[in-house]
Amino acid sequence: MPRSAFPWRLGVILASLLLLVGAAPPGAPAPPPSTPAAPAPRRMRVVFLDALPDRPFRRNVVGAMRAAANDLGIDFVDYVLSHWPGEILEQTRRLVSGPERPDYLITSIHRGIGTRILEVAEQAGVPVFVINSGLRPEDRQRVGGPREHFLHWLGQMLPDDAGAGERLALLLLEAARAHGSSPDTPVRLVALEGPRRDTSAILRNEGLHHALAGRMGAELLQSVSASWLGDEARRKTFLLLRRYPGAQVVWAANDDMALGAVRGMEDVGRRPGEDVWVGGIDWTPQALQAVREGKLVTSLGGHFLEGAWALVLLYDHAQGRDFASERLEWHTSFLPLTRANVAGYQDALAQPDWEAFDFRAFSKAANPRLTHYDFSLQTLFAQRDGRLPGGRLDSNATPRPPPHKPRP
């Protein structure tokens, strides 16, 4: 090979190697700078300040919320709070001021510190939506409702606790009458309340007293707090029935206490569903089984979906479809399950597959043709098989606005 050809061939080889490793050969023009890829849009972050007791009801609330968040593309965090008011406030302050600050908060109000939670969020500029348990009546009188004193308190969806307490009392009195209680003597009952500073407990107890007000056919012997706890309800039911052996009805403000009352009745030699009647609230799996067996007259429920519906409303708010155009407050009705209709619901709720439902279908932002929110069990279960699992109930679960007039 001629000596003069060697440098040329060496240059060709070097240029080829540079191209293989991605470098430009000497003298080649520099490539234009690459355009950086657009960052993926940030998902809205919603934190649930979870102060609910760890019961089956809570697991249904959180399970439905996770499914709704997945459908809507929301970064959802279940932030479990302490049981002590001071620690709850400190946890909330750290959350809204730290690096993981959420776009929205969802909370339920417990232990009488609702206004202080709202103050912390207001100062941090974090919007809040309240579910399940709201402000105490005296706090509500002082600060008003959503978007009044606290502008970042966007809205709330609360169960009709007073209506549930009243409905439960009427169903129990009706059961006692239907099973041979003399119409000439009043039905005698005892009551198991929740914590006396808890808004839900206060309202359910008000409903009980409203049902009995002026009713000649019923006599409330004694009302005691069992703090939502089954073991406490068992102990207190045992003592109450020893003190009042003629009691025919035990009104319990939640299912755990109703089931504890059943055990307390059996401890004292009474026969639930035969010579004493009891019912509760929450639709827990154990309570629905007791309804099916005839030990409980009824369990009222359906309000565990409030957290999922709140996520739909907040998603729309973030997309510029403010739910204020429809309303700021919802009150969800409790639906009674009895031995006649419990079977299908028990099967559906024992191990609910919330991921099987499409919560995005309830969003106005995702479905521009929607003109109003239809947050009902009927509509939700219609996605699955076109009907409610236990047949149509005698009360509609569609959240409704609170009454314009106070209860008499």
Percentage of residues in the chain having pLDDT higher than 90: 63
| Mean pLDDT, residues 306-314 | 97
Nearest 5°: CA angle at 110, between 134 and 335? 55
Strands 249-252 and 187-193: parallel
Query: What token pair was written down for 235?
Result: 């102990």
More confident residue, 235 or 81: 235
Element (H, E) at 165: helix 161-178
Give the pLDDT confidence score for residue 3 in this predicted structure: 47
Query: What token pair was written down for 154?
Result: 């966007």
Which three-class secondary structure string do you get for 163-231?
A: HHHHHHHHHHHHHHHHCCCCCCCCEEEEEEECCCCCHHHHHHHHHHHHHHCCCCCEEEEEEEECCCCHH
Q: Residue 388 corresponds to which amino acid?
A: L
* Per-residue pLDDT tens digits for 320-350: 999 999 999 998 989 999 999 998 888 777 7
| Mean pLDDT, residues 32-48 | 72
Give the pLDDT confidence score for residue 344 in this predicted structure: 81
Strands, E assignment, 264-395: 277-281, 299-301, 329-332, 335-337
Question: 385: pLDDT confidence band, cut at 50, 70 and 90?
Answer: low
Give the pLDDT confidence score for residue 387 in this predicted structure: 53
Q: Check if the beta carbon of residue 308 is closer than 8 Å to that of residue 136.
A: no
| 357 has a pLDDT exceeding 90 | yes
| Mean pLDDT, residues 386-400 | 46
Q: Do domains 45-159+303-385 and 162-301 have the same CATH topology?
A: yes
- What's the Rg (C-alpha) of the chain? 29
More confident residue, 326 or 397: 326
| 404 has a pLDDT exceeding 50 | no
* Per-residue pLDDT tens digits for 150-186: 999 999 999 999 999 999 999 999 999 998 766 778 9
Give the pLDDT confidence score for residue 224 in this predicted structure: 98
Query: Under CATH, to which class is 45-159+303-385 assigned?
Result: alpha beta
Q: How do the domains of the chain map onto residue ranges?
A: 45-159+303-385, 162-301
Of 28-42, 64-78, 108-122, 317-331, the range with the lowest mean pLDDT is: 28-42
| 372 has a pLDDT exceeding 70 | yes
Mean of per-residue pLDDT scores for the chain: 85
* Per-residue pLDDT tens digits for 257-299: 999 999 999 999 999 999 999 999 999 889 999 999 999 999 9
Give the pLDDT confidence score for residue 281 in this predicted structure: 96
| 4 has a pLDDT exceeding 90 | no
Instruction: Give one DSSP letter per residue of 362-391, joined into a string.
Output: G-TTT-TT--S----HHHHHHHHHSS-TT-
CATH of 162-301, one of 3.40.50.2300, 1.10.260.40, 3.20.20.60, 3.40.50.920: 3.40.50.2300
Percentage of residues in the chain having pLDDT higher than 70: 84
| 23 has a pLDDT exceeding 70 | no
Give the pLDDT confidence score for residue 234 in this predicted structure: 98
| 231 has a pLDDT exceeding 70 | yes
Give the pLDDT confidence score for residue 22 in this predicted structure: 46
Element (H, E) at 237: helix 230-243
| 396 has a pLDDT exceeding 50 | no
pTM here is 0.78
Closest residue by Cα to residue 81 from 69, 70, 93 = 93
Of 15-29, 68-82, 135-149, 334-348, the range with the lowest mean pLDDT is: 15-29
d(CA 108, CA 51): 7
Question: 406: pLDDT confidence band, cut at 50, 70 and 90?
Answer: very low
